[in-house]
Amino acid sequence: MKKIEHVGIAVHDLEASNTLFKKLLGVSHYKIEEVSSEGVRTSFFKSGPNKIELLEATSPESPIAKFLEKKGEGIHHVAFAVDDLEAEIARLTKEGFTVLNQTPKKGADNKLVAFLHPISTNGVLIELCQEAPSPPVEWGME
């Protein structure tokens, strides 16, 4: 694993939290993105070398909705950058971690992601993320 890629924070109200984090960090979010497959709307902040992801639930089945109900707002996950997600999934599975998705799935901010169940990581949900490969050049030429 290369570095912490982002820290994910579950929030009830993305707009209100964007205002709060702007005051806190002194910078505005640089993007808002919805990832419907995860049932979330996210915003991203950069603070020096660090990245914060705020997550609001878009449906009651969303992992964020469940988390907010049980634990309230707060740190939801820590994401690590990896070069080869499939290799890391295989390595960590072999090491006995509970990898929630054996196949990389679409994340936000142009990433492929996988999650480790907090039951196997001292109660902390871990995300692994790899920069998604660029689409072939010809896609942009039509």
Ligand X SMILES: CC[C@@H](C(=O)O)C(=O)SCCNC(=O)CCNC(=O)[C@H](O)C(C)(C)COP(=O)(O)OP(=O)(O)OC[C@H]1O[C@@H](n2cnc3c(N)ncnc32)[C@H](O)[C@@H]1OP(=O)(O)O
Complex with Co ion: residue 105 or 138, whichever CB lies closer? 105
By CB under 5 A, residue 8 contacts Co ion: yes
Report, in Å, the least distance between residue 77 CB and Co ion.
Answer: 6
Contacts of 104 (CB under 8 A, 6+ apart): 85, 86, 89, 112, 113, 114, 130
Provide the 3-class DSSP secondary structure of residue 84.
Answer: coil
Report the Cα 36 to chain-centroid distance in Å. 13
Where in 22-61 is the site for Co ion (CB under 5 A)? 53
- Piece in contact with Co ion (CB under 5 A), picked from 16-24, 60-68, 75-83, 94-102: 75-83
Q: What angle do CA 101, 83, 47 make, to 5 degrees?
A: 95
Complex with Co ion: residue 6 or 134, whichever CB lies closer? 6
Amino acid letter for position 133: P
Number of other CB atoms surrounding residue 115 within 10 Å: 21
State the residues that interact with ligand X by CB under 6 A: 8, 35, 38, 40, 42, 53, 55, 63-64, 66-67, 70, 76-77, 79, 100, 107-108, 111, 113, 115, 117-118, 123, 125, 127
Binding site for Co ion (CB under 5 A): 8, 53, 79, 127
